[in-house]
Structure 1
Amino acid sequence: MMTANQNLPKAIMAFLYLAVIVLGIMIFIAPPSIFPDPANGFHVMRSMQLGGGFNRLITPDADNLTQNTSEFLTWWSPGQYLVPYAFKLLFSVNTGQASALTITLCQLLGLAGFYAFFKKVGFSPLIAALSLLFIGCQQFFVVPYVFYNGGEILLFAFLGWFLYGCTALKMAGWQLTLFVLLSGWVGFFCKSSVVWMYAAGLLFLWIRLSSQRPSAEWIRNALWVGLPAIVSMASIWLFFLSKGQNPASVAAGIKLSVKAIFFPLASPILSGFSVDDLSHGLVYHTGKVIFSNTEAIILLALLAFLSLWLVRAILKTVPDKNYRLLVRVFYIVCIVFFCVAYLRQMTISYEARHFRIIGLIVIPGTLYILSKVKLPVYRIAFGLIWAGIAVSSVIYVAKGYSFNDTKSARGVTGIAQQAIDQKALNEVIALDKQNKNVIFVFVNESLGLEIKHNRVVTLNPIGDDLRIDYDDYEQGGHAGPLYIILPESYAGPKEKFILKSFPDYRGWYGSMLSDNYVMYQAK
């Protein structure tokens, strides 16, 4: 029996690693699509490949299309495109294949890191392995096999090892200084939103090293932790963030809101049990709206209460004091940070992915509680929830991969282009090869990545509600031939508005690239 218990965690981990490798091979053969944020990062990579400077986005100037404008992109961290760029340079693969290699490497690193961390904070190998199996069944874990999500997957690779380091370090010294300094740089390289997690992790580290010690030790350890953290963050600000805007730099003023309070409070269940993902976003909708605004607020209130109950149960039941301290610190910092951010109306969306780390941290504690309860009904209920999450994830990745493989168009990048069909994309690529010094206009962030020889303007897609700010679309000047690629669904007000956005061009006429896509040119 003891041998069986020892072998089961190894079998679970072997299964997870094998599943990641198999899925990695599949997406290397048929690379995934891409979310808008990393698509913008890949535009920076494209600019760099065409001779632009580091992390600079070179685009036609909206005020005068005859000129280019250069922007140092600080809205997103650079890791989401630099890691695939490294694979492109090392192995001479296309962008889609480089994304596939990035996803596979990050998934393996993330699983290994969280397994090491869960065991370090006192959980048995079986609880640690089951926790990772539960994580692997969730939708956020399989999303990268359908859409490359850039910083999200890099952050998963980093966080487990960061938490492991915060727990493993025993005393102040050069090792602590180096860890604090490098983890700030590496974490930000992966994703800029790591800053609040970095602060929470270091706060936990400082308290853990100083607890039950004289006041002088608290001050001494604060210096050991704080000084390299200041150096790390100051250098990031000086050499990166100060050169442009970022989500935390834009705020619309304080606005009292119930959801601004409930959303962070509900973070353990929202992010740890795929609630926000499966509901297509309770507040920030990423698909078909399931709950009305009133229903979402009521559900958030319920989830906030359940999350508080779960955290309280974890703090009372789990024996490891370091784990309890970690849960307490991260949950409190999460609530304070996001409540302030949402109340100030910063440009941080109401998505559970922003505090995914809370959900990941509470999962082993939840499984530990279930292992101690005597009534099997709780374990059965959790098993049904687990099965439901797993089935939805399997359906998601199966449908998404099949769509990318059989229906999405593919061009020179190898990325699955869901916003265009193959016939239309072939025509666009042929035009790019045949022309120089023309401008292609798209209403999708990733399509411009297929253009290798000409300039690209990317306009925001227009929603069905037609809420449009003309200043966001107007493009001044006349810079020669202009090709506007639009889906047939834009026929009508959307199409007229796009054409109106180029006031120096006249005499528009359209030609069908395929049954579903049209290209407009000016006479």
Structure 2
Amino acid sequence: MKNISPHKIILTIIIVITLIMGLMIFVYPPSIFPDPSHGFQVMRSMQMGGGFNRLVTPNQDDISKNNSDFLTWWSPGQYLVPYIIKIITGLNTGKATALVITLFELSGLAGFYFFFKKIGFTSIIAALSIAFIACQQAYVIPYIFYNGGEILLFGFEGWFLYGCVATKKIDLKLLLFVLLSGWVGFFCKSSFIWIYAAGLLCIWLRLSAVGESLNVRKLIKNGIWLAIPAIISVACIYIFFLSKGQTPASTSTGLKFSLQTFSFPLASPLVAGFSVDDIMHGLLFPTFTPFITPEHTLWILLLMAVLSLILISGIIRFVPKNNYRLFVIVFYLVSILFFTTAYLRQMTISYEGRHFRIIGLLIVPGIIYLVAKLKRPYKAAFVVLCLVLIGINYSFLVKGFIFNKNISSRGNSGFAQQTIDQQSLNYLLKLNDENKDAIFVFTTADLPLEITHNRIIIIDPIIKGEQINYDDYSYDGHAGPLYLLLPANYSAEQDSTAMEFFPGYKDFSEQKLGKNYVLYAAK
């Protein structure tokens, strides 16, 4: 019996671990990030009779009526894929989402493995690259918090890159690939558009090369052929989706020059590839108490920008694979151009490493290749770095899973609700069952998923001392009982402000729900 190849052992271990984690979250589904929570509000509206991709909410001028808005801020895949599985299997939303996470994690691993091999790396380097990807916190986050388009995009973009490098000539198959991949990628996540542009640029340059140089005639001819399906694909996305509302890229508050505007995109190989932004819970704008001061953070970011440039230069210089170097150069430059422009114009695009994840994925086989050429002490240092990443990221996974399993509450959706205890959630579910025409008001987008047949309103959190524009918050009129759920740490002034958003309701009763929330009710 022949010995099993090392790369097969590595891949088998990763697949088994992924399946085990998938089984764990199927039994105890994860929590959910805010972005897909809003997407699931659309699914909820569709289940209650709303149209496709329409968010049905109470009207601010007359709360007894409804508004129906086409949601363009996020792409529809994040809720439609779980919705389809939910319809087919009869599972609740949480378990259907758990299946989506497992399927797309496996798809992402397979897509990038075959892409790395197709672009010229050996089976063992491709397998080690997949192992390194599985060490990243971005890989384990979906098992704690469903992150919607992020996991869908991971499951698709490896296959998209494979298609970009596998094409040999301009033919019908390539034109269909260009047309359909734009739609599928956007369906997964709207930010795929810049990845789409970078991938098509790689195809164009690769097919227009003759030897080591570009042929002008081929550039023009191939450019025209590729442009036709690309324009059709993007035009359909705009006409049938983006033109119906606002997107993160459609709003701008003017130009703003800063060091972070340029340094964050430049630093993306380290920020995204080594889980720096994830481990720090936000390098520039941390979710929790920051590890270091903002001044020190900027210096660290500048250092990582310089080191990232050195790393990319090393990959380009020492990895003897022309197609791979082309993809690294094009994707890195396009990402810098796209995000620097977005940050300069102050679009609603955050400074987060997840936006650059494909850069962190692309450079992995190049790093593995370079490390393999180094002397033993440097290899050992890299192994230690990988072990540190595994320790940090998988301890984060274990803690998050235990919290979701033992502490979080669960209701109709099946998702883990981390901010409310089970007894308090049960009381909300009881109110939901007892009423048919009530309105529930929340300051988060995840808890409303538990309200099945009453209307809901989601208001932005009230920041103490911040001036409120009541036109943005107020709901006039009266329509059935109103239940207003506010954080328990709100001051009396914040609570009073929230109640003033509903001038048609008076004499609110107050009831403490657990340690995290206070419920105000008016009938």
TM beyond 0.5: yes
Matched-pair contact (CA < 8 Å) for 1:95–1:415: yes
Instruction: Tell me which residue corresponds to 1:210.
Output: 208
Paired residue secondary structure (1:225): helix
Structure 2 distance, partners of 1:479, 1:164, is 54
Structure 2 distance, partners of 1:314, 1:90, is 46
Q: 1:160 aligns with which of 146, 158, 161?
A: 158
Instruction: Tell me which residue corresponds to 2:236.
Output: 235
Read off the aligned partner of 1:152 and give its amino acid letter: E
Instruction: Tell me which residue corresponds to 2:261.
Output: 260
Moved over 6 A (4+): 3-6
Structure 2 distance, partners of 1:311, 1:206, is 22
Instruction: Tell me which residue corresponds to 2:171.
Output: 173
Paired residue secondary structure (1:489): coil
Read off the aligned partner of 1:78 and give its amino acid letter: P
Deviation of 1:284 after TM superposition, in Å, equals 2.6
Instruction: Tell me which residue corresponds to 2:300.
Output: 299
Structure 2 distance, partners of 1:297, 1:4, is 54
Instruction: Tell me which residue corresponds to 1:427.
Output: 427
Structure 1 distance, partners of 2:40, 2:49, is 14
Structure 1 distance, partners of 2:516, 2:359, is 43
Matched-pair contact (CA < 8 Å) for 1:410–1:417: yes
Matched-pair contact (CA < 8 Å) for 1:252–1:345: yes
Structure 2 distance, partners of 1:67, 1:151, is 32
Deviates more, 1:228-237 or 1:63-72: 63-72
Read off the aligned partner of 1:393 and give its amino acid letter: N
Deviates more, 1:211-220 or 1:433-442: 211-220
Deviates more, 1:212-221 or 1:22-31: 212-221
Structure 2 distance, partners of 1:287, 1:387, is 25
Structure 2 distance, partners of 1:5, 1:138, is 30
Q: 1:468 to 1:369 in 2, by over 3 A?
A: farther
Q: Which stretches in structure 1 are left out of the alignment for 5+ residues?
A: none
Instruction: Tell me which residue corresponds to 1:436.
Output: 436
Q: 1:371 to 1:468 in 2, by over 3 A?
A: farther
Structure 2 distance, partners of 1:173, 1:354, is 32
Matched-pair contact (CA < 8 Å) for 1:173–1:224: no
Paired residue secondary structure (2:457): strand
RMSD across aligned positions (CA): 1.6
Deviation of 1:505 after TM superposition, in Å, equals 1.9
Matched-pair contact (CA < 8 Å) for 1:5–1:126: no
Instruction: Tell me which residue corresponds to 2:187.
Output: 189
Q: Structure 1, residues 440-488: CA drift from partner, whole Å, max 9, x if none?
A: 1111101111111210011122356757554443222222310112232
Structure 1 distance, partners of 2:90, 2:81, is 14
Read off the aligned partner of 1:242 and give its amino acid letter: S
Instruction: Tell me which residue corresponds to 2:338.
Output: 337
Instruction: Tell me which residue corresponds to 1:373.
Output: 374
Structure 1 distance, partners of 2:333, 2:203, is 15
Q: Which stretches in structure 2 are left out of the alignment for 5+ residues?
A: none
Read off the aligned partner of 2:225 and give its amino acid letter: W
Matched-pair contact (CA < 8 Å) for 1:439–1:455: yes
TM-score (norm 1): 0.97
Q: Structure 1, residues 274-296: CA drift from partner, whole Å, max 9, x if none?
A: 01111111113223322222111
Q: How many residues align?
A: 520
Matched-pair contact (CA < 8 Å) for 2:419–2:516: no
Q: Structure 1, residues 88-115: CA drift from partner, whole Å, max 9, x if none?
A: 0110000000110000000000000000
Q: 2:50 aligns with which of 45, 52, 71?
A: 52
Matched-pair contact (CA < 8 Å) for 1:271–1:355: yes
Read off the aligned partner of 2:337 and give its amino acid letter: V
Q: Structure 1, residues 488-516: CA drift from partner, whole Å, max 9, x if none?
A: 22243332221222223222220233354
Structure 2 distance, partners of 1:316, 1:371, is 15
1:392 paired with 2:407, answer no
Read off the aligned partner of 1:24 and give its amino acid letter: G
Matched-pair contact (CA < 8 Å) for 1:176–1:224: no
Matched-pair contact (CA < 8 Å) for 1:280–1:288: no
Structure 2 distance, partners of 1:515, 1:346, is 37
Structure 1 distance, partners of 2:50, 2:520, is 29
Matched-pair contact (CA < 8 Å) for 2:420–2:514: no
TM-score (norm 2): 0.97
Structure 1 distance, partners of 2:515, 2:136, is 37
Instruction: Tell me which residue corresponds to 1:363.
Output: 364
Structure 2 distance, partners of 1:146, 1:367, is 28
